[in-house]
Chain A
Amino acid sequence: MIHWAYDKRWLLITLAAVGILLLLPVPPGLTSAGWKVLVMTLAATTLFIKEPVPLPSVALLIVLGQIFLLGLDSSDVARSLMKDAVLFIMGSLMLAVAMVKQQLDKRLALVIVKATGTNTYRIALGISVVSGLLASFIGEHTVAAMMLPVALTLIQLAEEDEERRRRLALLFLFSISYACCMAGIGTPSGGARNAIMIEYWGDFFHKPSDPATAIYDVGYGQWMLFAYPVFLAQLPFMHWILRKTFPAPSEDLSHAVRRLREQVGKQGSLQGRHYATIVIFLLTVTAWILFSTEVGMGTIAIAGAASFLLAGLVRWEDLNSGVNWGVVLLYGAAISLGQQMQETGAAAWVAAGFLDMLVPLGLGSGIGLLACIMLLTTAMTNTMSNGAAVAVLGPIVLSIAVEAGANPLAAGFITAMASSFAYLTVIGTPASSIVRSSGYLASADFLKAGWRLALMSFIILIIFAKFYWPFLGG
């Protein structure tokens, strides 16, 4: 009992805090419903960070809270769980599993070593470039899962000594994970957080009857215009920081590359299923770019996943076991709670309080405000999953932008992009969790490289927000 209570202390503390806060008088300027939603959001955030219970159970608690605390109709709550963004997350995850199952990773390995030669740092750069370009379209988790065995095989072929092997692993594995992190912001399909922000913009600001609000119905191509250059600008700096932070034990990997070529060469030429995979992937990306505004990104993601199933390239059992459906439920519930934050005025109330703190410091507008939003998001995303961070922060940040007279597009982009700056911890981004599963990386390694990368990303993002986005209406 004592151990159970100790293990669940954050759940017990959270439930006790919820009880106490709900008994307190509603703060001035906030409605009763707004106060309840705010308390629920604080509780959900604590549970996201401390994880005393499986995270999908937080989703269930959010649903129950909406019905019993806010008195909402259960059908309305159920309806609010399934948005295009949630459909998109679900479809993207199924696509990710389907892509990984096609074992294109061995071909990618050949492409990389063919282009880079045998120099260790050039291979690291090649890994970053390929990981980044792919992750910007098909999700960082997919690419990290595909590239991990490529890097590990090279590491094992290159070094016998455990210490030297670990040094090479630091360079190669971080080249994958950080490239994936940075690329995940490049397109809406790069990560769940992007889809969540697009959903919030559409829900909060886009009115179909008002053409002036059409800018908030952000499409795939529009997102890319804002975000892709930010990713491309970070990539070379990231490589430079990694090679300075984690120097390779040896600069030449000719022996390992030769053995990798032999190993992978046994696979033979591309087969029909590989061509079919590439065609479905390209068609999906093209459809996202051209038709997502009309039919929704979620529909296209689902169509892509369905194509893999119908073509017999993947079994439903593989999709079922490869996708964590609890995460889909969690994002659905988090978005639903975010909407309640907006509708009840809780987000605006928090935003006003936040601005009251910033204005005396001269940070209530312009770049100062965006920098504060960026730091707040970075702090949040390093303590919880980046999708959850955007789901929680999104409504507040967009309300801050409205209160401060800033552009919600810029504030939203800053939030979504800064949520990928989870360089300091393992839990912030999917790619970090995946490369850490190799067993080579320690938490301290993330800190060692992370602060340098975070500083670089801050500077680049602010430069783009100040000088580039205004040309695009952001």
Chain B
Amino acid sequence: MHKDTMNILVSIGGGPEAYEALAFAALLSRRQCTDTSLLTVREPDSGLHSGGLELRVAREQMLGWGLELPGLKRLKKARDIFAELGEIPGQESVQLEHRAISGDPAGEYVVSYNTPCGGTVALHLRSGTDIPGVIAEQCDIEDVDIAIVGAPGENPTGFKKLVSATPMAYRIAQRLPCPIIIARRLKAEGAILAVLDGSGLAAGCLPRLAKIARACGIPLSVASTAGMEVIEKARRALPLDSPPIDETFEVENSAEAVLAAAEDYTLVALPAPVGKLRGSMVEKVMENAPISVMIIR
């Protein structure tokens, strides 16, 4: 059954792109009355790397001096941004939970706030070594409709690319079971381009994209790599209250063509089921697009 409200998850890793994307999430929260989760995952303390002395001992020292731990600091910054945007009216939390789900025995924390429209904003602090796995698990627990992750900085080239590990944002994109936006200066402005490939996955996501476009007050265009009839079929399946589609056109099924077609947009959405992203055209678009990329699932 399709839900009425959207659940949004924003992964706060400390990078600037995720903080910038909070304005986008806040707008959706206001216009669509979403339930928004802000999630920070920190790696549990590793005793070997600290020579056998648990890092917890150092963290307790920091707390003893009244200093905040980095994970909490990041979440608080995100909360403050949300508060400034008017989505958290006061500083009073409605619910504070301490969970010991997995990872660090110190536990995991959730603080929830009510938004003015009746939705919620929840701050989650979790721990785990497999960060993409923890975020994927959170998507399942929260039944997330869209996850937002800040894009990494510039892509490494040459030798640096050879020795560099896959950036965390891309590793998360490979794992998440729900649609995910790799945010690059993600703002509720410009226009959205949905690229359909003839699959039910892409067509099925179009109503949600239309909802986002309407919430942001920006146009939605649709391109197809599998002929214009795919677009017509998807258009007919849109709910009646959907905003009109701005532009429709065909595009070649290659990363270069999609990147060229997406030049004038702020967000491009493409379908890639879980497990099919690595080595695909969508992965190339995700890594090389100068704009935000949404992977439809």
Tell me the minimal C-beta distance from A456 to chain B in angstroms: 23
| Size category, B interface | 20 to 34
Cβ-Cβ contact count across A and B, 8 Å cutoff: 113
Could you mark each residue 424-453 of chain A with 1 if its beta carbon is under 8 Å from any beta carbon of chain B, else 0? 001101100110011100000000000000
> Would you call B61 and A324 a contact (CB within 8 A)?
no
Tell me the minimal C-beta distance from A47 to chain B in angstroms: 12
- With beta carbons under 8 angstroms apart, the residue of A144, A427, A434, A439 that contacts B73 is A439
Q: Which residues of B contact A62 (CB under 8 A)?
A: none
B107 within 8 A of A: no
Tell me the minimal C-beta distance from A10 to chain B in angstroms: 13
> Would you call A327 and B52 a contact (CB within 8 A)?
yes
Separation of A103 and B60 alpha carbons in the complex (Å): 11
Could you mark each residue 22-62 of chain B with 1 if its beta carbon is under 8 Å from any beta carbon of chain A, else 0? 00000000000000000000000111111111111111011
> Would you call A145 and B58 a contact (CB within 8 A)?
yes
> Would you call B61 and A148 a contact (CB within 8 A)?
yes
Which of A11-19, A24-32, A134-142, A348-356 is found at the contact surface with chain B? A134-142
Given A152-B62, A152-B65, A439-B70, check contact A323 B54 (CB 8 Å). Answer: yes
> Would you call A145 and B52 a contact (CB within 8 A)?
no
- With beta carbons under 8 angstroms apart, the residue of A3, A149, A387 that contacts B51 is A387
Separation of A191 and B56 alpha carbons in the complex (Å): 19
> Would you call A2 and B275 a contact (CB within 8 A)?
yes
Tell me the minimal C-beta distance from A115 to chain B in angstroms: 20
Separation of A96 and B47 alpha carbons in the complex (Å): 13
Tell me the minimal C-beta distance from B285 to chain A in angstroms: 22
A322 within 8 A of B: yes
Shortest Cβ distance from A55 into B: residue = B48
> Would you call B47 and A326 a contact (CB within 8 A)?
yes
Separation of A354 and B45 alpha carbons in the complex (Å): 37
Q: Which residues of A contact B73 (CB under 8 A)?
A: 439
> Would you call A149 and B64 a contact (CB within 8 A)?
yes
Report which residue of B45, B61, B70, B133 has the largest number of chain A beta carbons within 10 angstroms of its beta carbon: B61
Q: Which residues of B contact A388 (CB under 8 A)?
A: 48
Q: Which residues of A contact B130 (CB under 8 A)?
A: 7
A159 within 8 A of B: no
> Would you call A427 and B65 a contact (CB within 8 A)?
no
B101 within 8 A of A: no
A321 within 8 A of B: yes
Interface residues of B in 97-137 (CB under 8 A from A): 130, 133
A97 within 8 A of B: yes
Q: Which residues of A contact B175 (CB under 8 A)?
A: 3
- With beta carbons under 8 angstroms apart, the residue of B48, B58, B133 that contacts A330 is B48
> Would you call A327 and B57 a contact (CB within 8 A)?
no
Residue pairs across A and B with Cβ atoms less than 8 A apart, 19 shown, are A3-B175, A55-B48, A93-B52, A96-B53, A100-B61, A142-B53, A145-B57, A145-B61, A148-B58, A152-B62, A152-B67, A191-B51, A324-B53, A324-B54, A328-B52, A387-B51, A430-B51, A430-B52, A433-B46
7 more CB-based (< 8 A) A-B contacts, given A433-B46, A439-B74: A93-B51, A96-B53, A141-B50, A150-B65, A322-B56, A323-B53, A326-B48
In the complex, the 3 A-B pairs of residues with the closest C-beta atoms, listed nearest first: A324-B47, A439-B70, A430-B51
